[in-house]
Amino acid sequence: MKTRLTHVRANVKNLQKSIEWYENVIGFAAEAPYPSENPVYVSFEFEEGACFSIMVDEKPSLGRYNFVVDDVDILWEKLKYKVEIVEPIFDTPYGTRKFTIKDLDGNELGFCRQ
């Protein structure tokens, strides 16, 4: 079976605090809070690939979400003293360069150069 991933969601305990972290620390741009009057879900702007979103849920996601970025080294320098690091930046045996961090709820976020 062939698949094409269109959407992934990470669970967070506090939506507003997480939105602020994703925007101010990582640099993502939130859009489409739902429902508008008392949001429990928000997605972030994206260019291509799967849409990434967060939603209030007490159960942790326990997943890793990998993002391709234009310059992984610049992002690493920006983030390395502001976040919990899972894997510091390194060159992989399959030709990419990446690092992995955790968000406020322990969701793992990998950033790489293809």
Question: In this predicted model, what pLDDT tens digit does every residue of 75-104 receive, in sequence order?
Answer: 999 999 999 999 999 999 999 999 999 999
Helix (H, G, I), strand (E, B) or coil at 12: strand
Residue 88 counted as domain residue: yes
Cβ partners under 8 Å of residue 77, min gap 6: none
Total domains in the fold of the chain? 1
Whether residue 13 is contained in a domain is answered as yes
How much is the pLDDT for 114?
Answer: 79
Q: CATH number of the domain that 95 lies in?
A: 3.10.180.10
Give per-residue pLDDT as tens, 3-54. 999 999 999 999 999 999 999 999 999 998 999 899 999 999 998 889 999 9
**Residue 18 belongs to some domain of the structure:** yes
Report if residue 2 sits inside a domain. no
Cα distances (Å, whole numbers) of residue 42 to 32, 38, 62, 91, 105: 6, 11, 19, 32, 16
Determine, yes or no, domain membership for 75. Answer: yes
pLDDT in the model for residue 112: 97
Residue 1 lies in a domain: no
**Which range marks the domain in which residue 87 is found?**
7-113
